[in-house]
Amino acid sequence: MIILVINCGSSSIKYQLLDMKNDDVFDLMAKGLVEKIGLPSGILTHKPTGKDPVRKELAIPDHKVGMQLVLDELVAPETGVLSSFDDIEAVGHRIVQGADFFSGSAIVDEDVMSKIAICCDFAPLHNPAHILGIRAMQHVLPTVPQVVVFDTAFHQTMPAYNYMYGLPYKYYEQYHVRKYGAHGTSHQFVAGKAAKLAGIDLQNSKIITCHLGNGSSITAVQNGKCLDTSMGFTPLAGMIMGTRCGSIDPNIVPYLMKKENISPDDMTTLMNRKSGFLGVSGVSSDCRELDAAIAEGNERAKLALKIFTHDVIKIIGSYIAEMDGVDLIVFTAGIGENNPRLRRRVCENFGYMGLKFDYEANAAPGDDKVISAPDSKVKVMVVSTNEELVIARDTMHLVLGNQE
């Protein structure tokens, strides 16, 4: 089944075209990125498998034009991978926020669209863009079924004592204020993949998944279900991230707003876009650039990474306590998969509970691997994530199920 996976941002469209043979066997036919939608000059980068990549600079006024460009590239005579649009059997969309409306993926209809629209309030940077993406796709491929896959769905199994905040209860009832988490697709995928590789029964296990990238979150997965997660009402909560401050004393918010005389929107931008690694180091939001700055003796870059490392240690520690133990710790995403030093520094703090680290395996290249010693009480793994594959799988299952 040929499935187009779409991840729409406010000014970008990321896409992958996958030919799904079954859940685990698939061909990546093409992938690409449309950037700078709405700006005077946009960029399309298209990478068809086995063919030369394409890069075009042109004005892309809106998502509808962006989607049309993507489809045109997919069927282009030289660089395309399809003979016609009709070959696309379904489209799967990544949606950041589904709140408590969605505990799983769904086929798009008007009821689903109205619920995604309600969730715009909790994900103002993401959900409006997702809606634009779905509407644009409906316009250019009106007869193709569309599926939505939510970053929040996996976390819907959290018990109330983990998702409720200590605020007046009425704000949960009136305004849906509670923890929703994010990166759920990735946490679910790597927990399942790592358990399978490690020979652990997912349904009878205590796993901590660390998705450490530009945005980072950690999840406690007990018996295959989310018990707790570090992001909150929005993805701002939890550890320090590339440009997000993570959890801070809430009183800092009104304090800084008064001192700097700034609006709620400005404060939101400050916490989401100007903080984190970038804000503390003054150098960059990118971990690799912090490492380069540290090598040159930059103390604030060092501090930013130290805050991050200790946030990761503290969250893992709290989840071990919450689950009364852990069988498997999994590292994934840009930093989790590619930064052995971070993994070593984190794992060295869990020696007290019998975690024996395999320094050699940790430093060696390779995607999916065990980095704890064979006699370690806790297994530690590095596993590559693939959110697009989960979206394609869910899309395939829902569309095939609907046809039966």
Choice from 335, 347, 391, 392 touching ligand ADP (CB under 6 A): 335
Closer CB to ligand ADP, 66 or 334, in the complex: 334
Closer CB to ligand ADP, 12 or 372, in the complex: 12
Tokens linked to 53: 């990549």
Closer CB to ligand ADP, 146 or 188, in the complex: 188
State the minimum distance, in angstroms, from the CB of residue 113 to ligand ADP. 26
Q: How far apart are CA 404 and CA 399, in angstroms?
A: 9
214 in contact with ligand ADP (CB under 6 A): yes
In sign, the C-alpha dihedral spanning 255, 259, 264, 269 is negative
Alpha helices in 199-332 (DSSP H): 252-260, 264-273, 276-281, 287-295, 299-323
Tokens linked to 28: 């990546």
Closer CB to ligand ADP, 223 or 338, in the complex: 338
Alpha helices in 58-109 (DSSP H): 63-75
Choice from 190, 334, 362, 398 touching ligand ADP (CB under 6 A): 334
State the minimum distance, in angstroms, from the CB of residue 211 to ligand ADP. 8
333 in contact with ligand ADP (CB under 6 A): yes
Catalytic residues: 151
Q: How far apart are CA 71 and CA 17, in angstroms?
A: 10
- Binding mask 259-298 toward ligand ADP (x if CB under 6 A, else -) reads ---------------------------xxx----------
Task: State the number of binding residues for ligand ADP (CB under 6 A).
Answer: 12
Choice from 181, 215, 232, 246 touching ligand ADP (CB under 6 A): 215
Closer CB to ligand ADP, 388 or 394, in the complex: 388
Q: How far apart are CA 358 and CA 371, in angstroms?
A: 5
Using CB under 6 A, which of the segments 49-57, 169-177, 232-240, 335-343 binds ligand ADP?
335-343
State the minimum distance, in angstroms, from the CB of residue 86 to ligand ADP. 32
**H or E element at residue 36:** none
Per residue in 175-185, is it b (16+ CB within 10 Å) or e — as a string? ebbbbbbbbbb
**Pair 227, 187: CB distance under 8 Å:** no
State the minimum distance, in angstroms, from the CB of residue 209 to ligand ADP. 14
Q: How far apart are CA 228 and CA 219, in angstroms?
A: 6
Give the residue closest to ligand ADP by C-beta.
334
Amino acid occupying residue 172: Y
231 in contact with ligand ADP (CB under 6 A): no
Q: Closest Cα partner for 379 from 204, 184, 203, 208?
A: 208
DSSP state of 357: B
Choice from 213, 235, 238, 276 touching ligand ADP (CB under 6 A): 213
**Rounded to the nearest 5°, which phi and psi values hold at 29?**
-85, -35
Q: Which residue's entry shows tokens 């669209």?
A: 113
Q: How many residues does the chain have?
A: 404
Closer CB to ligand ADP, 89 or 286, in the complex: 286
Per residue in 111-125, is it b (16+ CB within 10 Å) or e — as a string? ebeeebeebbebbeb
Closer CB to ligand ADP, 80 or 276, in the complex: 276
Using CB under 6 A, which of the segments 78-86, 207-215, 299-307, 391-399 binds ligand ADP?
207-215
State the minimum distance, in angstroms, from the CB of residue 249 to ligand ADP. 25
Using CB under 6 A, which of the segments 64-72, 189-197, 309-317, 333-341 binds ligand ADP?
333-341
Tokens linked to 38: 């709405």
Choice from 103, 269, 338, 349 touching ligand ADP (CB under 6 A): 338
**Chain contacts with ligand ADP (rule: CB under 6 A):** 213-215, 242, 286-288, 333-335, 338-339
